[in-house]
Amino acid sequence: MEISKEVSYFDVVCIGGGGAGATAAVVASLHGCRVALLSKEPLGYGTTRLALGAMATVGMAEGDSPELLFEEMVEEGEHLNHEGLAKVLCQGAGESIAVLENFGHLFKRDRQGSPIAFKMGRHRFARTLVSPGEGISIGCALRSACARSGIEIFEETAATKLLVEHGEIRGVVCYDLVAGRLFVLETDHVVLATGGAGWLFFPHTDVAKSVTGDGYALALAAGCELVDMEQVIITPFGVAPHGSAYGFHCGIPVTEVPQGVLRDREGRTLIQDLREMNQAEMSMRMQEAVRRGQGTKEGCLLLDLSKTVRTEEGKKLHQVLKEGGFLEIVRFAQGQKAYDWEVPIEVSPTVHYNIGGIRTDENLHTSVRGLYAAGEVQGGVHGLSRLSSLALTDLFVFGKRAGEVIGKGRKKANRKSVAWNEAKEEMEKISSIAGRNGNYRPIDLIQRLQKLMWEEVGPSRSRTGLLKALAAFEEIEERSKDLSVARVKTYNQEVLDAIELRSMIKVARAIAGSSLAREECRGSHVRIDFPDEQEGLRLNSVIAFEKHGKVKTRMEENSRWKAQHR
Amino acid sequence: MMKEWEIRILRFDPEEDKKPHFTSYRVPENARATVLDALIGIYTEIDSGLAFRYSCRYHKCGLCSCMIDGHASPSCKVRLKDRMEVRPLTGLPVLRDLVTDRKFVFDFLSRYEIYLPEREDSRIPAKLTVTQTYHHLSGCRECLCCLSHCPKYDFTAAPFSGPYFYVKLAQLHFDPRDAIDRVAQAQTLSVSQCAICKKCYCPYGIKIFRHAIQPFLR
């Protein structure tokens, strides 16, 4: 592997090639910054590209306003939303559509040519626009906008370490997967926009392969705090048994009231009325049923829609889903009869979104000077649960804000050199991975971690299970010092696996540790040993941080909200 | 004993190999599996030295494209069979094993300004008529299989740019906001060479000739 001695300087380095990172990069570049954009996949891929393309805005329906959206967000988030950030999101939601359309995207329009807004999920107004090409055309628009802006693009390149000195950001150590090259970018602004951590739960997730929680791990190591990492949105109806296509939604929209009856493998009713239960509880019950041995051979349950499709309303829903192409995956994985809802669809809960994340102020600034976070990796905006179709809005509002805050606040280039020794040490560490001749392949350790995350830190959590997982993470970390890795230079996926494994262990600890700290069921977090909400924990957030290389947690009361809601 | 199928994969490491060579793997017989499932299975269970690219796992990202029994397709879209042969996309620069270099795609977008020009007025235009053709073309996954299907395309041969790039130009040509002469641009990029061939193919069903070549022919 090659260690580059050449160091280039950029005003801003954005890490993450999805909606938030690309938007921050484009906007900062419009403000005259010299910008580098790192994307672990080709630019414009990742989970933004996998989105269904539903994006909430404000002001489409009469009577709607940012203030009303804010009220709904706070209600949904159980008053644990960061007030300033949530307000920024609501104020920016109207404009975010224009930001994305200006990149080259187009939302669906009616015959007269006006954008159409739908009422989705628990939104009280019709606010959601849909993308005819789903997330794909959004991903393409991101690529176009970056090509237009003249940003320096580093595709298939991972950030392995943030270089911080005296509490301020100085640079980033990068690994170019294609060339097998390590290099340093010097900068005084970094935007973390790496998305969530769904891949820690693979195959029980609908996210892209690159979503390994890198930003959380980089932030923890740099001294930042994470807020409410236990809050992971797990939706009940992922299409299940099908090799790599596991975990995608089976068309029963997560955003709508679920229909049908949930059965075990013998056909016995598990949940009769899906409408009466929230998705966190439903996912917990499903995992519990599988633990009791009621799951199918593949560890799934059966979503029976045969009665639904015989009702007028159900027939209509089926038609809409078919026309939208949302049931294609069911046909692909389970055949025509399941597609027609004549036989039950085999389903398993699936990890969809990380609500928790890096703690920032309303300018997206972390506790490290010059370090920002935007998009899913950032935490606290949505409190304990997110309204549907606000995830895309979040990317474009906060991506733009990060770019603007940096662009407007930037004084003339203030280049300070990185501590070369620290950078060199990191590069030598990564460089030594290729060709190691130990006992464990990175992918085996990753799979072991993923299994633990799903079984013990997934939909149904308990103290016993979480402690078991935390102990096992220690063992995985120990084994990760004894890796066996191919020596090849070009596109060495095993080296990337090893880098990702290091992040994943840290993030797994943050999620499991935060889950252990919150001894109650609240929001998207379910503890079977504490089946109720604890009044004393209302308005409390779990804060995760790193001390002497260990991930720790503490509870913190949101005093501002407490004063308002007494 | 579990029945097994054979899959042959063309391997190439620029550091070690003078030329590509086939390696044969045995994978569990499974008619419901996809070729991508088999590749992931080989990587996780047998040989993590194998290089291939994938991301979304189901029909969306286009990154897992390969030549499968001589036919370019995203490997997540093809069911596994016994004795299949998998190679990297033809006509594209190979980095290692099944991974081709995609950098030229982005460079091309920048160099030929294949994007909507920055607009001063960035409000949403209240009324905008968007045609079915535009929506049809926006289904392009950028899987690059069309480049391998094209009898003429070769990444070393400029200025002929290949079907993928004409699709990108056509997306803009049918965008009601784009005011640049994309016909002239396509002409510069030798679209006229495509007038009689009509062999373009898209695994996602985009009618490339009709919607992305014909509109540019004079």
Same domain, B111 and B180: yes
Same domain, B212 and B112: yes
Same domain, B110 and B143: yes
- Say what the pTM is: 0.96
How far does the CA of residue B39 sit from the closest CA of chain A (Å)? 10
pLDDT digits (tens, 9 = 90+) for B14-63: 999 999 999 999 999 998 899 999 999 999 999 999 999 999 988 888 99
Q: What's the confidence (pLDDT) of residue B2? A: 81
Q: What's the confidence (pLDDT) of residue A207? A: 93
Same domain, B55 and B86: yes
pLDDT digits (tens, 9 = 90+) for A244-256: 777 787 765 544 5
Average pLDDT value for residue range A41-46: 93
Average pLDDT value for residue range A483-503: 97
Same domain, B144 and B212: yes
Residue of B nearest to A115 (CA): B126
Closest C-alpha among A316, A323, A367, A33 to residue A167: A367
Q: What's the confidence (pLDDT) of residue B120? A: 67
Q: Which of B56, B120, B134, B182 to mutate to test the interface with A (most CBs of A within 10 A)?
A: B56
Average pLDDT of chain A to the nearest whole number? 93
Same domain, B11 and B90: yes
- Return the exposure string of A248-266: e unless at least 16 CB atoms fall within 10 Å of the residue's CB, then b: bbbbbbbbeebbbbbbbbe
Q: What's the confidence (pLDDT) of residue A426? A: 97
How far does the CA of residue B84 sit from the closest CA of chain A (Å)? 18
Helix, strand, or coil here: A143?
A: helix
Task: Give the integer Cα–Cα distance in Å for A435 and A285.
Answer: 45
* CB A212 within 8 Å of CB A202: no
Average pLDDT value for residue range A286-293: 97
Task: Give the integer Cα–Cα distance in Å for A491 and A271.
Answer: 47
Average pLDDT value for residue range A315-322: 88
Is residue A345 very low, low, confident or very high in pLDDT (cuts 50, 70, 90)? Answer: very high
| Rg (chain B; Cα; Å) | 20
Nearest CB among B37, B95, B110 relative to A147 is that of B110
**Residue length of chain A:** 566
Q: Which of A136, A199, A396 to mutate to test the interface with B (most CBs of B within 10 A)?
A: A136
Q: What's the confidence (pLDDT) of residue A314? A: 87
Least confident of A298-302, A319-323, B177-181: A319-323
Least confident of A224-228, A233-237, A399-403, B40-44: A233-237
Q: Which of residues 30-89 of B touch A (CB under 8 A)?
A: 30, 32-34, 36-37, 40, 43-44, 48-49, 51, 54-61, 63, 76
Q: What's the confidence (pLDDT) of residue A536? A: 86
Evaluate if residue A409 carries a pLDDT over 80: yes
How far CA A187 is from CA of A217, A366, A426, A517, B204, in Å, comes to 19, 16, 17, 36, 42
Task: Give the integer Cα–Cα distance in Å for A339 and A45.
Answer: 28
Closest C-alpha among A402, A395, A353 to residue A375: A395
Evaluate if residue B176 carries a pLDDT over 60: yes
Same domain, B60 and B148: no
**Across the interface, do B138 and A493 touch by the CB < 8 Å criterion?**
no
Q: What's the confidence (pLDDT) of residue A254? A: 47
Q: What's the confidence (pLDDT) of residue A566? A: 43
Same domain, B123 and B210: yes
Is the CB of B95 inside 8 Å of chain A's CB atoms?
yes
How far does the CA of residue B106 sit from the closest CA of chain A (Å)? 7
Nearest CB among B15, B54, B127 relative to A490 is that of B15
How far does the CA of residue A151 sit from the closest CA of chain B (Å)? 10
Same domain, B38 and B109: no
Q: What's the confidence (pLDDT) of residue A463? A: 98
Residue of B nearest to A440 (CA): B48
What the block records as the tokens of A45 is: 């891929």
ipTM: 0.95
Residue of A nearest to B125 (CA): A114
**Across the interface, do A144 and B114 touch by the CB < 8 Å criterion?**
yes
Average pLDDT value for residue range B150-177: 89
**Chain A residues with CB inside 8 Å of B127's CB?**
112-114
- What is the domain-level CATH number for residue B24? 3.10.20.30
Average pLDDT value for residue range B174-188: 94
- What is the domain-level CATH number for residue B193? 1.10.1060.10
Is residue A258 very low, low, confident or very high in pLDDT (cuts 50, 70, 90)? Answer: low
Closest C-alpha among A73, A559, A95, A97 to residue A355: A73
Out of B100, B133, B161, pick the residue that ends a domain.
Answer: B100
**Chain A residues with CB inside 8 Å of B122's CB?**
98-99, 101-102
Residue of B nearest to A487 (CA): B49
Evaluate if residue A561 carries a pLDDT over 90: no
Residue of B nearest to A334 (CA): B32
Alpha helices in A305-441 (DSSP H): 312-323, 328-334, 336-339, 390-409, 420-431
Parallel/antiparallel/unpaired status of strands A357-358 and A190-192: unpaired
**Across the interface, do A106 and B126 touch by the CB < 8 Å criterion?**
no
Is the CB of B123 inside 8 Å of chain A's CB atoms?
yes
How far does the CA of residue A394 sit from the closest CA of chain B (Å)? 18
How far does the CA of residue A476 sit from the closest CA of chain B (Å)? 17
**Chain B residues with CB inside 8 Å of A491's CB?**
51, 95-97, 99
Closest C-alpha among B61, B81, B35 to residue B145: B61
CA dihedral A511, A516, A518, A524 (to 10 degrees): 50
**Chain A residues with CB inside 8 Å of B134's CB?**
106
Q: What's the confidence (pLDDT) of residue A244? A: 72
Range of the domain at B19: 4-100
Nearest CB among B44, B95, B110 relative to A178 is that of B95
Nearest CB among A45, A244, A328 relative to B61 is that of A45
**Chain A residues with CB inside 8 Å of B51's CB?**
488, 490-493
**Across the interface, do B48 and A441 touch by the CB < 8 Å criterion?**
yes
Task: Give the integer Cα–Cα distance in Å for A239 and A246.
Answer: 6
Same domain, B83 and B174: no
Average pLDDT value for residue range A158-173: 96
Same domain, B88 and B122: no
Same domain, B91 and B120: no
Least confident of A222-231, A319-328, A520-529: A319-328
Out of B100, B122, B141, pick the residue that ends a domain.
Answer: B100
Residue of B nearest to A134 (CA): B139
**Across the interface, do A153 and B15 touch by the CB < 8 Å criterion?**
no
Q: What's the confidence (pLDDT) of residue A560? A: 62
Number of domains into which chain B is organized: 2
**Chain A residues with CB inside 8 Å of B37's CB?**
243-244
pLDDT digits (tens, 9 = 90+) for B57-104: 888 889 999 999 999 999 999 999 999 999 999 999 999 999 999 988
**Chain B residues with CB inside 8 Å of A129's CB?**
none
* Higher-confidence position of A412 and B139: B139
Evaluate if residue A109 carries a pLDDT over 60: yes
**Across the interface, do B63 and A45 touch by the CB < 8 Å criterion?**
yes
pLDDT digits (tens, 9 = 90+) for A347-388: 999 999 999 999 999 999 999 999 999 999 999 999 999 998
Residue of A nearest to B118 (CA): A102
HEC per residue, A393-405: HHHHHHHHHHHHH
Task: Give the integer Cα–Cα distance in Å for B11 and B91.
Answer: 16
Is residue B168 very low, low, confident or very high in pLDDT (cuts 50, 70, 90)? Answer: very high
Q: What's the confidence (pLDDT) of residue A290? A: 97
Q: What's the confidence (pLDDT) of residue B125? A: 64
Out of B63, B80, B100, pick the residue that ends a domain.
Answer: B100
Q: What's the confidence (pLDDT) of residue A346? A: 92
